[in-house]
Amino acid sequence: MKKIIIAVCLFSCFCTFAQQPNTLASNKMKPLFNGKNLDGWYSFLTKKGKNNDPEKVFSIEKDILHISGKEFGYICTNNTYKNFHLAVEFKWGTKKWPPRDADTTRRDNGICFYVPQDFKDKVWPKSVECQIQEGDVGDIWVIDSATVVVDGKRTPSMDYFRVQKKTDAEHKTGEWNRVEVIANNGNLTYIVNGKVVNTATSPSLSEGRIIIQSEGAEIFYRKIEIAEL
């Protein structure tokens, strides 16, 4: 009986740890966004190109990154990352823009990673995405023929392929949410507000830049930080 109790306790501790991978790098996090400017990033807009943002689709307001969503595009890191723990805190604004301005259209954004270093700017480049969309935060999207393994099966090589999250942990629209992406030695874990919502393994990409999208909806980021593992 004593052995059984010990085994159950050990298993319980293991499960608790497995559900809290955000402890992996909690003391190593460094700002990826400094709250003052976009040093370390460049912007790209479909109609304006690189670092040409006259309408301030991307702006800094009181230490917060404001993305208006008015034009499709992104900010992209100058550096590349391989094994990392990324954490962001976001909330939705109120504005939406064509073609996603209908009342029934959900607000959309996303974080793409493993974007190849020598890629050509476009919407959207080859990458793995952590979806940030109302109702779908934590979905995995693989873009431009990228693939991952989910439940022992590799996803098809397509322009876009979606892996739905396993559970819902989003807060209501207008409230702050914390989203974490852990990419470590071929293992991908998505965490939303402290809960693991999606996992995958063996991505076909293993290193690259990180992108934060502008995709037709107003959104605010008050924290973007990373730890290299």
Does residue 122 lie within any of the structural domains? Answer: yes
146-167 residue pLDDT tens? 999 999 999 999 999 999 999 9
Q: Dihedral of CA 183/187/190/195: which sign?
A: negative
* Number of domains the chain contains: 1
Residue 202 Rama label (left phi>0; alpha psi -120 to 50; beta): left
Q: What is the DSSP letter of 68?
A: -
The answer, yes or no, to whether residue 112 has pLDDT greater than 70, is: yes
Is 140 in contact with 129 (CB distance < 8 Å)?
yes
Does residue 2 lie within any of the structural domains? Answer: no
Does residue 6 lie within any of the structural domains? Answer: no
Q: How confident is the model at residue 49 (pLDDT cuts 50, 70, 90)?
A: very high
Does residue 14 lie within any of the structural domains? Answer: no
59-77 residues labelled b (16+ CB within 10 A) or e (exposed)? eeeeebbbbbbbbbbbbbb
Does residue 116 lie within any of the structural domains? Answer: yes
pTM of the model: 0.88
Average pLDDT of the chain? 91
Can you give the CATH number for the domain in which 97 is found?
2.60.120.560
The answer, yes or no, to whether residue 185 has pLDDT greater than 80, is: yes
Does residue 68 lie within any of the structural domains? Answer: yes
Average pLDDT over every residue of 214-227: 98
The answer, yes or no, to whether residue 136 has pLDDT greater than 50, is: yes
Does residue 181 lie within any of the structural domains? Answer: yes
Instruction: Return the structure tokens found at 139.
Output: 């979905």
114-123 residue pLDDT tens? 999 999 999 9
56-100 residue pLDDT tens? 999 999 999 999 999 999 999 999 999 999 999 999 999 999 999
Does residue 49 lie within any of the structural domains? Answer: yes
Structural domain containing residue 94: 24-228
The answer, yes or no, to whether residue 17 has pLDDT greater than 50, is: no
What is the rounded CA–CA span in Å between residue 175 and residue 215?
Answer: 19
Q: Which residue did the predictor score with more confidence, 7 or 129? A: 129
> CB neighbours of 223 closer than 8 A, spacing ≥ 6?
31, 33, 87, 88, 89
